[in-house]
Every structure is written in structure tokens, then in C-alpha cells.
Structure 1
Amino acid sequence: MPDGESIAGYRLTGRSRAGETGTWTDAVTPDGGRGGVLWIDPGVLVDPGARDRVVAEVTADRRLTRGGVAGLVPITDLVAARGQVWLLTARPGTPSLAELMRAPAPDAGSAATILVETAQTLLAVHSAGLVHGALHAGTVVIAEDGTALLAERGLVPALRGAHASVERDLAAWASLARGLAAAWAAGDQQAARLFDRAAATATTHGLGAARDALVNGRDLLPSGFATRERLVQTIQWWSASAVPTGQPPHLPPSPQGVDTGEVVTLLYVPAGAGERPAHPAAETGQAPPAATTPAGGEMRFGPGVPVDTTAAQIWRAGREQPTVAAAERLAAPRKRRRRRGGFVGSAVLFALILLAAVFLWFQRGAPLSVTAVQVRQPKAAGCDTTVNVVGVLTTNGSAGQVSYEWLLSKQKPIKHTDAVPSGRSSHEVTLEWDVSGRGTRKLTARLRVLSPVGASGAPIEDAATFTYKC
């Protein structure tokens, strides 16, 4: 591939792999970060309705990600350039789980981590009335920190007009669990049986029950697996090794005088219009219907590009799109008014609650750690009164002892030690401060955690000020 070839500001680096719907290539984003580009095979775009279905699925993914679902590969844009279609992502599309399964096996705990995270993300997707449609080891991307991300969600049913159902996702997850058991738990019979039990549970009782089976069986997994150390080591081995990769697709030559940086963005939303809602039709096993076509406007492909470019011929049949510069596409999305009555908001809230539960599960084996402190603002006080000061300690959910002190204006420190139970990510502490006298004063209550603290040994603290007037 020619050095420096790029799409919409994404510079392709040459490390590629075959995906389910095309070819993934690592890229450098316009701001210098690491991203990914999926070139969608033109052979799967022959159906006239495929374009609209892909736009609908990508739009739904972006809405879920903005709503807090962190288990999907984050999508930046979907663009057409010189007769080809590209999906741009904010994270690389490599390595896939399939690639890592050919590397030296980490441990059974790494497999459990991936299975719990993929189950959690699928639960959020299904709660939003969507499905994946092509889940397997090749559509699970493992980030450099060991996080499992689902890629190409919804694209296969959208491109092929195929049926998509929750039941198919459940069967695919069960197959993934059995594959990981064979690859990463071959020498650990207890863990292998745990994965097989979770796989059977997924198809009979659902992903929530399968996830719980893994959670309840965590004692059968290697100690310390929640740190992901072994998994990260495998990723580093893969990154540093000469793993064979595919060849990234070449851009066709651009017409003379055309700026190759100008592309058609397919996710443009006219002013005043919201993104299309997720389609609940996926729950019934039916492919989502084609997206509606807003009226008006002339399709433009940037300065100097003739109307009859290849991209125009491909996309003119559907919704008309203006060209949007790469910098504008990559800018932070505008805030939109909240829609009342939508099911996606409640689905995202449900997913966040489940994600918090899984996070706390992974932290149960770690020692107690306090990560943040907040002192709530007390109300202004009148003559000779008692002020209730409330502080909140954010923890990693483990059990242990926490030592802290209150530092009040011109008074000696007041030290305390509390027992913090497991399974909760916050611990509330209170102080009754008797204040008296005449005059007007600004008083400060400072809460300082003495232990446990981070590796630096520096205390964690916060303060709040109120006015006493008598």
C-alpha cells in the first residue's frame, strides 16, 4: 500500500485482517490517536436497501455508545469515497479474539473475563431491541488493556437482508464459550466445565443466567485473573510478533484535480432532526426495515468533484447527503433534546446497572481501595446549631477498613475508622458539627482519607464551605 494513503483523515498503517463484512485496517486518526477502518466489500452492497439498513444499524450503535454502553467498538463515521464504503472507528479493529486464540494461551480467567464482558454488552444490545447477528471470535476485538469489544454489530443482517434474532446471538455466545474453553482452558478441567455449563445455560435460560454462572464460579478460576495481566501479555506478544496479516484494500485512483480528502458522510442528520430510533423488529427475527429518506438538498462531494462520480452513482438512489469536512465529523456531537417515552434510555440505564455489578464482581478479590472523596455542601447555619456534614468515599467495591479525619476550621482533627462492606462502590460518612457564637463566618469542613490510599501515599481529600450567621 502506498505510504500515507488515507480516508477522511484516517491514515492507513498497513496492518489488516479479514472481517465478517470486509477488511479491517489499523489507522492513525486525524488527532494522532489509534483507530480503525473497515472497508466494506462492494460485493455485499448489491441489495438496493442494504445502504439504508447499514446506516440505521451504525446510527443505533453510535446512540448506544453515547448512552454509556462501552462494550462496542466506537464508531466515528460511515463514509463513501470513490465508489467504496468505509466504517471509521475510534479504536483499532485488531487484534480480534480469533487472532489471539492462535497466540500462546493466557489462562482460563482471561477467557472468563471476555465471556462476561461480551455477555454484558449483548444484554445491553438486546435490551435496546437490537441484535449482533454475526457473533464469533472474529467479531470480538480485544483492546490493549484487555477489554472485549463487539465489532460489526448488525452489519451482516443489514447487508444480506438476513433474519436476525436474539436466539441466534445466544447460540453464538455459547459456541464462543466452548471455543474458549478448548483454546484457553484445555488444561484446567474445572474451568472447562464452568464454561460448558455457562454455554448450556445461555441457550436455555439466557445470557443473564449464563453470566451469573460465571460469576458464581469465579473461585474455580486462576487467582488474580481479574487484573487481566495474562491477557495483556498475550496482546503485547501479538503486537510485537510478525503475525501474518491481510492486505488493506487500495483506493481507486481519484479523478484528476479532485481532493482525495473529500468524502460523503452517510451519517449526516439534517438540522432539527434526530437520529433514527433503534428498531425493535430485530427481536422478532426480522431484518430492520429500510431507513426513511428525508427530502430536499443537492448531494455534493466537495469542491471540484463532478456530479457523476462513482460515489454519486452508488449513493444517489438513497438519502441525499452533503459533504461534511473530517474535522466537523470528528467534533463532539451536539446535545439533542431528550425524547420522552423512548425505550432506549431505560435500556441504557439497565445496562449501566449491570455493568456496575460486573465491575464490582471483578473487584471482589482485590484489597479495598478509595479512589475519590466528595464532601456535600452543607446548608447555611443560624445561631447555635448543629450542622450535618456528609462525605462520600468512592471505593472499588471490596471490603476493608478505611481511616479518615475531619479537619474543621480552627479545630483539631477528628479521626475515625470505619468497616466498609463488600459489594458497594461508595461509603457515606457523617459529622455533626456544633457551631455557636455571634457574627458571620465562613466555615470549612475538610474530609481526608488516610488509608487505604494510592501508591503515591498522598491522602485523598475534599472540602466544602458554608456560612454561619448569627
Structure 2
Amino acid sequence: MREGLTVAGHRLTGRTRPSEVGTWADAVSPDGRPSGVLRFDPAAVATAAARERLVAAVGADVRLQEGGPIGLLPVIDLVAARDEVWLITARATPAVADLMATGRLDPGGAATVLLETAQALLAVHAAGPAHGALHAGTVVIGENGSVLLAERGLLRALRGETASAEQDMAAWAALAGALATHCGQGHAAAALRRASAAAAHGLAAARDTLLAERDAFPGMGRERLAHSAYGFAAPASPELPAGPAAGSSGGEAVTLLDLPNLDRPNAGDGPGDVMMRFGPGVPTETTAAQIWRAGQTHDAVTATHTGGPAPRRRRRRTTAWAGTLLLAILIAAAILWLRQAPGAPLAVSDVDVKAPKKTVHCDGRADFVGVVTTNGEAGTLRYLWIRSDNREPLEQEQQVSSGDTSVNLPLHWKVTGSGSFKGTATLRVLSPTTTGKPIQDKASFTYKC
């Protein structure tokens, strides 16, 4: 597709890469951030049933990401225009396959890819779904070096098939084998092969095998991987198949995602409810919208809703009484505000993290509690829970009421698979602190299965 066309406001840059379900294109979002656009093969989404399954799969990803980063490529929207369907995501390049093809993936980067991919799959499997099409082309690298799973569930949904965790484990082992071959015959390649073999006992065992052989991978970590992905230039690629871009000259782009139950988990038929919309729809007009459209006065609109005009004398009396009451409230509020002396700002003086004392066993959960000591003032805490399994931390906020000198911040860490594992969680309070610098504490637990 030509550079400059847009999909729901996302301007395509001209760089594309093929996918099993369509064609990816790099884009720029309306606010100037890098984004990715996947145009589905029209034949794959030609039937209503295929579109329904696709919407359900993408909707499941949106729900998974509501709880914070889980290792999936963030979904922005799923839109349609005429007979075309487009998935809009965060930046979807480079893929691991791109780095391998251009020689930009070293052994440390390969180990980082496998480690974070295993962790992401474990998190996804714990939530219920599976990927179903894992390979070097569906694993992408974020700008900070994070490893993200793309196209989760899409291929299987379009085919009307169900993905399974067992298929993902086999695909992870195949990816580990391919990366081992890419790394040659050295110590690192042998370690990757051992990790591939360990996947037969579960992804947790494969992950632990990689962690136990960190010495074989100098430069292992996101920083090196981000450097490899920085400034990546894909080789020349063909244009997207001819067709209008959604929301440009090809008609209005209409979202297919309508997730009314995200804030109401008990509504609808279940947690998987997703409503599909294939047309622009006509929202119910508010009174303000009616006034703007028809140029009516407020009295005329009120008459339409009540069946007749309100008596003028009663309306004037009511208006005068309401005005007097409002003035009295404002005066009282101003007096109270002037009498109150401004309080000291919230400040954190200490952090104490408590971990489970007993060993966590098979498929168990480690419950941490971070106890934050404050000066008792009201305000907002900004903090991070940092886990030793390299899961990307998410900055969070906690409102603190006046008078509370101790605040509990919980962390629930679920572990699955066989083997042994020592996990460490660090609670880092970013602000506000008495020193002006972050304050943190950590604790560890042991997992055996």
C-alpha cells in the first residue's frame, strides 16, 4: 500500500511484511507514536462466522491487557471498511524473524527472546487462552527491548480451530531449536538446545533451564535486544494488495470492538461477551445534541419531552429559589475553605515487603504484601512491583486517605510447571517520599513442584 494512506487515522509509512493471516504495515498514530496495522486477507474474513471468531479473539486480548502488561502486543482497535478488516496495534516491527534474517540477533538476544516468550505464554495460559501460531514471525521486539507476542489466536480463529497450550509448548521448542541453529555450534547454541528439550516438561522447566545457564549468554537482557532492534530497516517489501485504506478514501472505518462488560463483569452471558458492529450506527441524541442540530431553545426541547410548556410564573419562582440556594452554598464553601489551613503533602518514610514463609508448591501462588509507612496525609502513591522473572513492571497508583499512616500494597505471583524456582519481588515507591528519591524493599519465596 502506498505511503501516506491512513487506516482509522493511522498513517501508513510504506514498510510492510507478510503474515499468515494478511499483511502488516508500519504506521504512525494520530498522536505521532509508531503503530502497526494488519490488513487481513479478504478471503479469510469473507464470512460472518470468521469475523465473529476474529472479534472474539481480539476482544479476549483486550481483556487480558486490562490487568496490565502480559507480554502481548497491545491492541488499539479492530476496524472494518466495506469488505476489509484491519487490526491496529502498537508498533509491530521488527519481528524476531527480521532480526535473524539481517544478522542482528546475537545469542544473548536469542536467550532473552526465549525467556520472555516462555514467561508471556505461561501468563496467557494461566488466564485461559493460548497463542496457536507461535514462531519467529509472530514474536516482535518493543522499543525498550521487551519481547511481545503478536497475532495471538488470530490464525486459529479464522480457521475455526482451537489453540492449545500443548501446541504452544511444541512451537516454543521449535523456536528454541531454530534460534540454536542460528547461533551456530558454541556453548550458547548447546544451552538453547537443552532448553528446547526441557520444553517437553513444560515451559516453566524450559525457562528455568535458560536461567540456570545465564553464563552462556553474555549480554542477555532487554538493553542489548533494544539496541539490536533500534533503527531496524526492513528489506524492500511488496505493497499491500490493492484496495482502499479504511478511513481514507475507502469509506468510514467502523470499530468491530464493543466491550460493554469490561466494567460490568456480571453483565451479559459471560466474561467472553463481545458485541460486533459492522456499520457506523446512530447514537441516541442528547438534549444538547438536539439543540445544536435543530437550533431549538431549551424550553422547546423540554416541551417535547414533557408534553407541554411549563408555566412561566412557576419556572421564574423556581429559578429564583434555586439561585438563592446556590449562592448560599457557594458562600459556605468559601468560608470553610478560607478557615482550613493547607495540610502537609503526603510523604512515604518506609517500605517493608513481606513474602510467604512456606514453600509454594505446584501451580501455587505467592502472596506478597508491601507495607508502606506515610505521614498520614492524603495524596497519591506512585509505585512499581518488580519481579525477578523479568516480567515488565507496570507503574501503578494508590489513593491514600488522610489519617492513614500505613498502606498495604499486595502482589499475587502465580507460578506453574515443574521444577524449583526462587522468586524475588521488589516494591519500589517512586513518589512522594521524604527524601525525594524512590524507596524500596524486597522479599523472596521458594517454589517447588
Q: TM-score range by the shorter chain?
A: 0.5 to 0.7
AA in 1 matched with 2:97: A
Q: Over residues 129-167 of structure 1, what are the superposed CA-to-partner deviations in whole Å (9 max), with x where a residue is unaligned?
A: 101111000111112222111111001110001242211
Counterpart of 2:213, as a letter, is G
Confirm or deny: 8 A CA contact 2:386 2:427 kept in the other structure: no
- Does 1:168 pair with 2:158? no
Unaligned stretches of 5+ residues in structure 2: 284-362, 370-384, 410-422, 440-449
Report the CA distance between 1:424 and its aligned residue.
4.7
TM-score, normalised relative to structure 2:
0.62
Match of 1:251 in 2: 243
Identity of aligned residues (%): 43
Q: 1:127 to 1:276 in 2, by over 3 A?
A: farther
2:227 maps to which residue? 233
Distance 1:446 1:355 in 2: 18
In the other structure, the counterpart of 1:111 is: 110
1:212 aligns with 2:243: no
Q: Can you list the C-alpha shifts for 1:366-388, whole angstroms capped at 9, x where unaligned?
A: xxxxx99x9x99979xxxxxxx9
Does residue 356 (structure 1) correspond to residue 387 (structure 2)? The answer is yes
Partner of 2:184: 186
Aligned: 1:460 with 2:437: yes
- The residue aligned with 1:334 is none
After superposition, the Cα gap between the structure-2 partners of 1:276 and 1:62, relative to the gap in structure 1 and judged at 3 Å, is farther
- Whole-Å separation in 1 of the counterparts to 2:28 and 2:179: 31
Write the distance in 1 (CA, Å) between the matches of 2:264 and 2:279.
18
Partner of 1:68: 68
State the 1:265 CA deviation: 1.2
Distance 2:367 2:157 in 1: 24
The match for 1:11 is 11
Q: Judging changes above 3 Å, is the alpha-carbon distance between structure 1 residues 172 and 355 closer, same or farther for their aligned structure 2 residues?
A: farther
Whether the 8 Å CA contact 1:16–1:26 is kept in 2: the answer is yes
What do residues 279-334 of structure 1 show as CA deviations (whole Å, max 9, x unaligned)?
7xxxxxxxxxxx7778xx9944689xxxxxxxxxxxxxxxxxxxxxxxxxxxxxxx
In structure 2, the CA distance between the partners of 1:302 and 1:259, relative to structure 1 (3 Å rule), is farther
Give the letter for the 2:426 counterpart.
S
1:164 is paired with a residue whose SS is coil
- Are residues 379 and 75 of structure 1, via their aligned partners in 2, closer, same or farther at CA, if it must alter by over 3 Å? closer
Residues 23, 129 of structure 1: CA spacing in aligned structure 2 closer, same or farther, 3 A cutoff? same
CA distance in 2, matches of 1:213, 1:298: 48
Cα distance in 2 for partners of 1:237, 1:300 equals 38
RMSD between aligned residues: 4.2
1: distance between equivalents of 2:264 and 2:245?
35
- Pairwise CA distance, 1:176: 0.4
Determine the C-alpha separation between the residues in 2 that align with 1:352 and 1:277.
30
Contact 1:263 1:301 in 2 (8 A): no
Q: Partner residue of 1:265?
A: 255
Deviations 1:212-237 (A, max 9, x none): 11111112221x432532x3333235
Distance 1:39 1:351 in 2: 42
Contact kept? 2:6, 2:246, Cα under 8 Å: no
Normalising by structure 1, report the TM-score: 0.59
**Separation in 2, partners of 1:446, 1:356:** 22
- Aligned match of 2:378: none
Tell me by how many angstroms 1:10 deviates: 1.0
Per mean C-alpha deviation after superposition, the further-off stretch among 110-119 and 47-56 is 47-56
Specify the code of the residue in structure 2 equivalent to 1:263. Answer: A
Write the distance in 2 (CA, Å) between the matches of 1:127 and 1:87.
25
Check 1:181–1:278 CA distance in 2 against 1; reply closer, same or farther (3 A cut): farther
1:288-303 matches, within 5 Å, as: 299-300=279-280
